[in-house]
Structure 1
Amino acid sequence: MIDVVAAIIINEQQQILIAKRKEEKMLGGYWEFPGGKIESGETAEESLIRELMEEMHIDIKIYKYFGENIYTYERETIKLIGYIAEIVKGKIILTDHSDYKWVKKQELTKYNMAPADIYFIKKLEKEASI
């Protein structure tokens, strides 16, 4: 099983950041909550901060653990660990995605999200506030 982290980044307008995977990557064309694989020796939080800097050139502040989802894709099983966060520094510059959007919580279901991320969308729908 591969441990993966995801950031549910919320801005001042209560919009959530989603990013579109590049077509040539695994799950190409799917939207996701940004993040990535946890490397050996890293905590989940350290990994998330590193991944967002590498993939989007932003510093984030993690507010709280949001949950986890174990999902089996065709080739591998992942444990996706989610955190609520915000951007504290930087302007988004994509290196690992083809696009990004800020969307309202209620709009997330309109996007072709990566299957493992759908668990977090359902959990967000149940939350009165994020």
Structure 2
Amino acid sequence: MIEVAAAIIHNAEGQILIARRREGKSQAGLWEFPGGKLEDGEEVPDCLRRELMEEMSIVIHPYAAFGVNEHDYGGFKIRLIAWKAELLEGQIRLSDHDAFRWVAANELDAFAFAPADLPFVHRLLDPLQ
């Protein structure tokens, strides 16, 4: 099973950052909470700081675990570990994605998300879950 970290990043206005996977990637065209694979022995907050700098050129502060979801994509299984994070600095420059948006939580259901991210979308849409 592949362990992947995802950041639910909010900005000063309370909007959440989502990104669309570019052509040629698994789940291309679907939206996700940005992040990436954990390296051996790496802690989730460290992974998220590294991945967001590499993939988007931004500095974030992961501050709280949000949830874990395991998903079987057929050819591979992932354990997606989500953390809430705040944007500290940087202008977004994309390398692994072809688009990004800052959206309010109640707008998330307007986007087609990768299946592993959907439980987190539902939780953000209905915080009482």
Q: TM-score if structure 2 supplies the norm length?
A: 0.95
% same residue: 48
Deviations 1:26-54 (A, max 9, x none): 11101000001001121111111100000
Q: Distance in 1 between matches of 2:29 and 2:51?
A: 19
Match of 2:46 in 1: 46
> What is the deviation of 1:126?
2.5
Q: Which runs of 5+ in 2 are unaligned?
A: none
Match of 2:12 in 1: 12
> What is the deviation of 1:14?
1.4
Match of 1:27 in 2: 27
For this pair of structures, how many residues does the alignment match? Answer: 128
> What is the deviation of 1:91?
0.8
Q: TM-score if structure 1 supplies the norm length?
A: 0.95
Match of 1:114 in 2: 114
Match of 1:63 in 2: 63
Aligned amino acid, residue 106 of structure 1: N
Q: Distance in 2 between matches of 1:41 and 1:90?
A: 27
Q: Which runs of 5+ in 1 are unaligned?
A: none
Deviations 1:55-100 (A, max 9, x none): 0001100120001001110211100000010111211110110000
Match of 1:82 in 2: 82
Aligned amino acid, residue 45 of structure 2: E
Q: Distance in 1 between matches of 2:14 and 2:36?
A: 23
